[in-house]
Amino acid sequence: MKSLRCFLLLFCCLSSSYSVRSAEEATAIKKQPNVLLICIDDLRPELRSFGAEYIHSPNIDALAATGRAFHHHFVQAPTCGASRYTLLTGQYGPASNGALFQRASRVKTDAASVSPSLPAWFRQHGYTTVSVGKVSHHPGGRGGPDWNDKNQLEMPHSWDRHLLPAGAWQHPRGWMHGLANGEIRKNAKEMDLFQAQAGGDEVYPDGVSINEALQQLSSLSESKVPFFLAVGVLRPHLPFGAPAKYFELYKDTELPKIAHAEKPAGKTTWHGSGEFMKYNRWGRNPNTDVDFAIEVRKAYAACVSYADAQVGRLLNRLDQLDQRDNTIIVLWGDHGWHLGEHSIWGKHALFEESLHSPMIISTPKMSHAGEATQAMVETLDIFPTLCELAKLETPANLDGVSLLPLLRNPQGKGHAAIGYAGRAKTIRSDTHRLILHNDGFAELYDHTSAEDETHNVAEAYPEIVSVLTKELQRRLGR
C-alpha cells in the first residue's frame, strides 16, 4: 500500500511537471510570430511606392509605408518556376520552370540528401504551413495533365495544406491562364491578350483563390499554433484579364515614354517575346504600333491594380483578426517584366527589367518603418531573414544572407545579386551588370552611365569583367 501511495505521488508530480512544461512550450510557440508570404506573379516595380506615380496601388503602398520596401531587389531567374525554387529553398537551382519538380524527384529517391524547404523548415519548428494559389510554379502545387494529381507533389513534406480552388476554371491548369467566367486557354492564338469584363473580383481567377485565402487566414488565427500562410496572386501574369473597374482607373492616364525601346544590337539575351506574341493580338504588334503599346501597358497596369486589391483584402482580414502585431509580412514579385524595353514584352531575358522586382518586408514594431532601402538584395535572402525574425535556427546550407541589419537600418549595405537563365548567367553590382554567356561572350553595362544597359562596354573594361566573372563563378560554384 505504501508503495502504491509513493507511485501515485511520483506520478502526480511528473504529470504536474509535464503539464507545466507543455504549457510553457505552448506559450513559447504562440509567442513566435506568424508569417504571411504574398507572392505576386510577373510584378515589376510598377507601383506608386516604387516610383511609378501613375499606378493605383494603395494597398501595397500602405504596406510599404509601414514596412521596408527594397527598391533594389533582384530575383535569381527570370522565369516563374526557377525563381520560386530559390524563394522556397534558399538555394541556387536549375534555370527551368521544372526546378521544383526536379527537386521533388530527388526527395523521392534520396530524401536525406535534400535540405528542407522554407515551409518545411517552419513546419518542423511547430508552424502550421498552408499555401493558397500560385506559390510554387503550379498553382496548388501538384503535377499531372491538369496539375491536380495528388500523387505528384511539387513540394513534398512542405505544406499541411496546399490549396487551389479552381472555381469555374475547373482545375489548376485552367485557373492559371484563365479569363473571365471560366474561360480556359486551349489554343493561345484564340485567347485574347487582354480583356476587361464587368463584375466583381470573382469574375477572374484571383478573386476565387483569395476568398479561400481569407478563410484559411481566419481559421489559422483561431489556433494556438503559429502559422506560415503563403498566398499566390496570379495577375499581372498573361493574359491581362481583370474586372473592368480596374481598367477604368487608367482610361485617361498619360503613360511615360518607354525607356530604350529599340531592339539591342549585337549578342544579348534578347528574345522575340514568344509567350506574349502567341496570344490573339488582333493582328497588332506593340513594337511597331504605338497606340497598341499604350493599350497593352494600361492592361498590365489594370492587372497590377487588381492584384493590389487582393493584397488589400488579405491585409484587411489580418487587421480584422487582430493579427497584424504578431505577423511578419513579406510581399514579393517573382521576377520583373519588360513592357517594351529593349523591344521585349515579357520576361526570360537577363536585362534589368526581367530580374528587378519589388519586395516589401513588414514586421511588428519595425525600426524606421516606412523608410525604403536602396541596398541591393536577392530573393535568396528571404529564407534566412524569416528564420532570424522568427527566432528559428537557420539552416547551414542556404545561399542567401539575413536582411535583419537592413530591417534595423535602411541605410545599411547590400550585396551583389546573381541571376541565371539557360544560356547565360549574370551578376549585378552597385555600378555594373555583367552577363556571361555559356560560350564565354561577355556583356558589361555601366549603370553609372545614362546609356544604362544599351551599350556593351566589356571590351573597354576587361578588368571589371574579370573581377565580376570571378565573383559570379565563386557564388554559383560553376
pLDDT-derived band at 33 (thresholds 50, 70, 90) equals: very high
Summarised one tens digit per residue, pLDDT across range 380-410 is 999 999 999 999 999 999 999 999 999 999 9
Given a cut of 80, is residue 462 above it in pLDDT? yes
Say what the pLDDT of residue 31 is: 75
pLDDT-derived band at 477 (thresholds 50, 70, 90) equals: confident
Spell out where 303-462 has E strands.
327-333, 338-339, 345-346, 359-362, 373-378, 417-420, 424-428, 432-437, 442-446
Given a cut of 80, is residue 105 above it in pLDDT? yes
As a whole number of angstroms, the distance between CA 88 and CA 201 comes to 28
The answer to whether residues 300 and 46 touch, using CB atoms and an 8 Å cutoff, is: yes
> Which of 71, 73, 80, 348 is the catalytic position?
80
Say what the pLDDT of residue 19 is: 41
Summarised one tens digit per residue, pLDDT across range 261-305 is 999 999 999 999 999 999 999 999 999 999 999 999 999 999 999
As a whole number of angstroms, the distance between CA 347 and CA 342 comes to 11
β-strands 359-362, 68-74 pairing: antiparallel
Counting DSSP H helices and E strands in the chain, the numbers are 14, 18
Angle at CA of residue 127, ends 121 and 129, nearest 5°: 80
Per-domain residue ranges of the chain: 30-415, 423-478
Nine-digit cell at 139? 498553382
Domain 30-415 has CATH 3.40.640.10: no
Summarised one tens digit per residue, pLDDT across range 164-186 is 999 999 999 999 999 999 999 99
pLDDT-derived band at 30 (thresholds 50, 70, 90) equals: low
Its pTM stands at 0.93
The answer to whether residues 271 and 328 touch, using CB atoms and an 8 Å cutoff, is: no
- Class at the top of the CATH hierarchy for domain 423-478: alpha beta
> In the annotation, is 338 catalytic?
no
Given a cut of 50, is residue 14 above it in pLDDT? no
> In the annotation, is 271 catalytic?
no
Given a cut of 90, is residue 6 above it in pLDDT? no
As a whole number of angstroms, the distance between CA 29 and CA 35 comes to 13
What is the residue-averaged pLDDT of the chain? 94
How would you class 310 by CB atoms within 10 Å of its CB: exposed for 0-12, middle for 13-18, buried for 19 or more? Answer: buried
> Which of 137, 335, 342, 348 is the catalytic position?
137
Summarised one tens digit per residue, pLDDT across range 56-76 is 999 999 999 999 999 999 999
Say what the pLDDT of residue 245 is: 98
Say what the pLDDT of residue 323 is: 97
What is the percent of the chain with per-residue pLDDT over 90, rounded to a whole number?
93
Say what the pLDDT of residue 478 is: 61
Whether the bond between 243 and the residue before it is cis, its omega within 30 degrees of 0, is no
Summarised one tens digit per residue, pLDDT across range 181-234 is 999 999 999 999 999 999 999 999 999 999 999 999 999 999 999 999 999 999
Given a cut of 50, is residue 10 above it in pLDDT? no
What is the percent of the chain with per-residue pLDDT over 70, rounded to a whole number?
94
Q: Which residues of 52-77 are buried (b: 16+ CB within 10 A; e: fewer)?
A: beebbbebbbbbbeebbbbbbbbbbb
Summarised one tens digit per residue, pLDDT across range 327-368 is 999 999 999 999 999 999 999 999 999 999 999 999 999 999
Alpha-carbon torsion, ordered 360, 361, 362, 366, to 10 deg: -120
Say what the pLDDT of residue 334 is: 98
